[in-house]
């Protein structure tokens, strides 16, 4: 006899695998939840009627005319999706992006129709000019340099936000990355009487390589230059907190980090530094990569998509804008 325990004796100490043994145990100890109520579904709205134009680089998504929204609602509402984000694509563009604040433009029309058909739906309207300008930049550009006139752009963003609020948007979301845009929009909304319309600021929007499919879908690729002079350098983390603090000081009610997958550390830093509701945007390139890999049999799409969204939630995001909203909603309804 020896005092030493045999190597085949049971272990009586901490054994984490005990709580991984069955689906019920795994669900019971799961630290991060993913629920359909946390998903925001993007929509691309075009002018005209009878338009449902599939977006080749984003399988499962299409440009929709306003009359197609009823069919879209019949699909998303039974899935439990209760939030949408709108982008507009006008039939005509100009140097100033005047179609953005046209009350009869695609986004105001879509807001009114969505509110008529589904009054309880949360409608978020993206506020930017890139889809509406002939040059594809997010504001006024005076020459081919691609340099946006920041201060000349601010009142136009304010007019756009007011047009969306007047149509019934629940939240306006400025994404142009102009210095002072939140303050300008807050002032414009207040003067117009929309004191209770919240602002979801794209406070940390990086000049990312993952936006390619979106720019095709929204027809907003710059005709010259790029947006690195006004969107954030993806290499900078400390600068993020400066940008977010400025937007908070200007009156942002909610904050966003974009893109999400390559900025999980940024999401966590913003979550730790600010108490505001935090949204993260799983952008078109992230979606397209998962789709392409799964179509080639390289990934289990369901597991990979859900894992990516759980990581975004685990990093600190309260809500996630994702092109996977409909599919994930279906998957969650049949989860183990």
Q: Which residues are catalytic?
A: 205, 258
Largest CA distance in the chain: 91
Q: Do residues 60 and 323 lie in contact, with contact meaning Cβ atoms separated by under 8 Å?
A: yes
d(CA 142, CA 168): 33
- Closest of 254, 158, 126 to residue 200, by C-alpha: 254
- Closest of 255, 320, 258 to residue 285, by C-alpha: 258
Q: Do residues 82 and 211 lie in contact, with contact meaning Cβ atoms separated by under 8 Å?
A: no
Q: What would the DSSP string read from start to end of 131-184? A: TTBTT--SS-B-STT--B-HHHHHHHHHHHHHHHHHHT-SEEEE-S--TTHHHH
Q: How far is CA 50 from the centre of its chain?
A: 26
d(CA 282, CA 41): 11
E-state strands within the chain: 39-46, 52-54, 62-65, 83-89, 122-127, 171-174, 200-205, 254-258, 278-282, 319-322
Q: Do residues 101 and 156 lie in contact, with contact meaning Cβ atoms separated by under 8 Å?
A: yes
What is the radius of gyration, based on Cα positions, of the chain?
Answer: 22
Q: How far is CA 236 from the centre of its chain?
A: 20
Place of tokens 């890999």: 293
């Amino acid at each position: 006899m020896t005092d030493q325990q045999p190597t085949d004796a049971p272990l009586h100490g901490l054994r984490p695998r005990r709580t991984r043994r069955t689906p019920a145990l795994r669900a019971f100890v799961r630290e991060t939840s993913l629920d359909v109520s946390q998903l925001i579904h993007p929509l691309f709205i075009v002018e005209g009627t009878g338009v449902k134009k599939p977006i080749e680089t984003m399988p499962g998504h299409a440009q929709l005319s306003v009359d197609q929204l009823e069919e879209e609602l019949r699909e998303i509402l039974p899935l439990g999706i209760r939030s949408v984000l709108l982008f507009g694509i006008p039939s005509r563009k100009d140097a100033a992006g005047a179609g953005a604040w046209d009350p009869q433009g695609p986004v105001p029309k879509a807001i009114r129709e969505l509110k008529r058909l589904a009054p309880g739906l949360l409608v978020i309207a993206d506020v930017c000019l890139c889809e509406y300008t002939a040059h594809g930049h997010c504001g006024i550009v005076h020459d081919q340099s691609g340099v946006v006139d920041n201060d000349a752009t601010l009142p136009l963003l304010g007019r756009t936000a007011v047009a969306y609020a007047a149509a019934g948007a629940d939240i306006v979301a400025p994404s142009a990355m102009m210095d002072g845009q939140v303050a300008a929009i807050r002032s414009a909304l207040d003067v117009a009487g929309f004191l209770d319309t919240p602002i979801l600021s794209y406070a940390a929007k990086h000049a990312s390589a993952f936006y390619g499919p979106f720019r095709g879908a929204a027809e907003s690729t710059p005709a010259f230059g790029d947006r690195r002079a006004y969107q954030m350098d993806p290499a900078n983390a400390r600068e993020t907190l400066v940008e977010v603090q400025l937007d908070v000081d200007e009156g942002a009610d909610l904050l966003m980090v974009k893109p999400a997958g390559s900025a999980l550390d940024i999401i966590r830093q913003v979550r730790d530094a600010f108490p505001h509701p935090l949204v993260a945007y799983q952008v078109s390139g992230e979606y397209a990569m998962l789709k392409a890999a799964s179509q080639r049999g390289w990934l289990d799409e369901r597991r990979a998509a859900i894992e990516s969204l759980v990581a975004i939630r685990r990093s600190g995001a309260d809500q996630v804008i994702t092109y996977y909203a409909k599919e994930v909603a279906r998957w969650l309804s049949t989860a183990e």
